[in-house]
Amino acid sequence: MDAERAMVFSVDRGRWGCVLDSDPERPIVTMRARELGRTPIVVGDQVDVVGDVSGKPDSLARIVRVADRSTVLRRTADDTDPFERVVVANAEQLFIVVALADPPPRTGFVERAMVAAYVGGLQPILCLTKHDLDAESEFADAFEDLDLTIVYGGIEDPLDPVLDLLTGKLTAFIGHSGVGKSTLVNRLVPDAYRAVGEVSGVGKGRHTSTQSVALPLPDGGGWVVDTPGIRSFGLAHITPDDVIKAFSDLAEAIEDCPRGCTHLGPPADPECALDLLPGKERRVAAIRLLLNAINTNDPWFRGQSSS
Ligand SMILES: Nc1nc2c(ncn2[C@@H]2O[C@H](COP(=O)(O)OP(=O)(O)OP(=O)(O)O)[C@@H](O)[C@H]2O)c(=O)[nH]1
Ligand SMILES: [Mg+2]
Ligand SMILES: [Zn+2]
């Protein structure tokens, strides 16, 4: 039987929801073919499916192949966790969703998420919510030298600027629990009906959304992936070289660095080749902020059990 190409839009206890390229209006339920072993299959994956692709109640098709991924958003639960999980595959963009208040915003989280985005091949975008609770916030100023696109996605902000960024693309939303990811998704995709929760106290560990789901944008195409809130963005799998190599204008320079260079510059790395790039001083300084974020824990969430 010929396989059909599909995209995974949901994952739940050994069942994957997929949409067929040939008929996106007909969601189907699939299982993993035995020969795939334990290959992770995540939201956004392009897969080949065989079997009953009718989408009728109780029908079950089989995923027989997972295509190579164009981008991979990975994280670990914390910086010592050896287990790396793939959050989303093939997303072009990462919306780093941060509330301006309740819970209060943290630059470290944004920097860490940016590192994961660049290393995984995604374009990071900072999406600020709860603008109504702190209209005067200067939080975004911290990212001025990083060329980070910033958009306001609070309940009282207009949707058009958000839609302009999302249309035609697969975008993953990521952020702490309670920042308003599902609230924004519900505005963007009116029949999404994502559950929305109270802001739970930090460390209480109540997450309203518990599974990642990709939802189709109504006009113009594109998908948004609503993900469960995370406490921290563990980067145990990422080295300073990985980060620099994600920037095409800096990647070559570090071939001239001494062995073991962490690219932070003096005093730690007095001979770092990034300090020899004329006209790049501000850019190098901005990217070193990101490197510093890998070495610094997110203090608020330190010691919390991971999620
Ligand atoms: N004042 C205000 N409240 C908001 C805004 N956006 C979301 N909220 C509220 O914040 C709370 C949490 O919103 P959710 O959308 O459930 O947050 P979430 O990021 O999806 O949380 P998890 O699913 O747990 O990760 C809800 O009570 C929302 O009504 C906003 O822009 N302004
Ligand atoms: Mg949610
Ligand atoms: Zn160096």
pLDDT digits (tens, 9 = 90+) for 117-131: 999 999 999 999 999
Protein residue closest via CA to atom 27 of ligand 1: 198
Kindly tell me if the per-residue pLDDT of 300 is higher than 70.
no
pTM: 0.91
- Residue 48's pLDDT is what? 98
Ligand 1 atom nearest 154 alpha carbon: 31
- Residue 206's pLDDT is what? 60
Choice among 10-24, 54-68, 290-304 with the minimum mean pLDDT: 290-304
Residues 138/140/143/145 CA torsion (nearest 10 deg): -70
What separation in Å is there between the alpha carbon of 107 and the centre of ligand 3? 24
Protein residue closest via CA to atom 2 of ligand 1: 130
153 lines ligand 1 (CB under 6 A): no
What separation in Å is there between the alpha carbon of 13 and the centre of ligand 1? 26
Q: Which residues contact 208 (CB under 8 A, 6 or more apart)?
A: 177, 178, 182, 195, 196, 197, 229
Query: 153-202: per-residue pLDDT in tens?
Result: 999 999 999 999 999 999 999 999 999 999 999 999 988 777 787 665 44
Ligand 1 atom nearest 196 alpha carbon: 16
Sign of the alpha-carbon torsion through 203, 178, 112, 185: positive
Ligand 1 atom nearest 209 alpha carbon: 23
Residues 213/216/217/218 CA torsion (nearest 10 deg): -140
Query: 38-61: per-residue pLDDT in tens?
Result: 889 999 999 999 999 999 999 999
Kindly tell me if the per-residue pLDDT of 96 is higher than 90.
yes
Q: What's the pLDDT band for 1 if we cut at 50, 70, 90?
A: low
- Residue 297's pLDDT is what? 57
Asked whether the beta carbons of 171 and 94 are under 8 A apart, the reply is: yes
- Residue 294's pLDDT is what? 82
Mean pLDDT of 13-23: 93
Protein residue closest via CA to atom 12 of ligand 1: 178
- Residue 307's pLDDT is what? 38
- Percent of residues, the chain, with pLDDT higher than 70: 92
Here the tokens at position 9 are: 């839009």
| Closest listed residue to residue 7, CA positions, set 97, 70, 80, 81 | 70
Give the CA radius of gyration of the chain.
20
Here the tokens at position 48 are: 């080949």
Helices within 98-142 (DSSP H only): 107-120
What separation in Å is there between the alpha carbon of 289 and the centre of ligand 2? 29
Helix (H) / strand (E) element for 4: namely: strand 4-12
> What is the chain's length?
307
101 lines ligand 1 (CB under 6 A): no
What separation in Å is there between the alpha carbon of 143 and the centre of ligand 3? 22
Here the tokens at position 53 are: 């692709």
Helices within the chain (DSSP H only): 107-120, 160-166, 181-188, 240-245, 248-251, 281-295
Ligand 1 atom nearest 207 alpha carbon: 24
**How far is Cα 86 from Cα 89, in angstroms, rounded to an integer?**
7
Ligand 1 atom nearest 179 alpha carbon: 19
**How far is Cα 149 from Cα 285, in angstroms, rounded to an integer?**
18
Here the tokens at position 286 are: 């901005």
Query: 248-280: per-residue pLDDT in tens?
Result: 889 999 999 999 999 999 999 999 999 999 999
Q: Which residues contact 40 (CB under 8 A, 6 or more apart)?
A: 85, 86
Kindly tell me if the per-residue pLDDT of 209 is higher than 80.
no
Q: What's the pLDDT band for 301 if we cut at 50, 70, 90?
A: very low
Q: Which residues contact 73 (CB under 8 A, 6 or more apart)?
A: 86, 87, 88, 89, 91, 94, 116, 117, 120, 122, 172, 174
Most confident listed range (88-92, 101-105, 228-232, 244-248): 88-92
Average pLDDT of the chain is 89
Choice among 27-41, 275-289, 291-305 with the minimum mean pLDDT: 291-305
What separation in Å is there between the alpha carbon of 19 and the centre of ligand 2? 22
What separation in Å is there between the alpha carbon of 122 and the centre of ligand 2? 21
Here the tokens at position 109 are: 């989280």
Q: What's the pLDDT band for 299 if we cut at 50, 70, 90?
A: very low
Give, for ligand 1, the residue of 134, 174, 196 to mutate: max count of ligand atoms closer than 8 Å to Cβ.
196
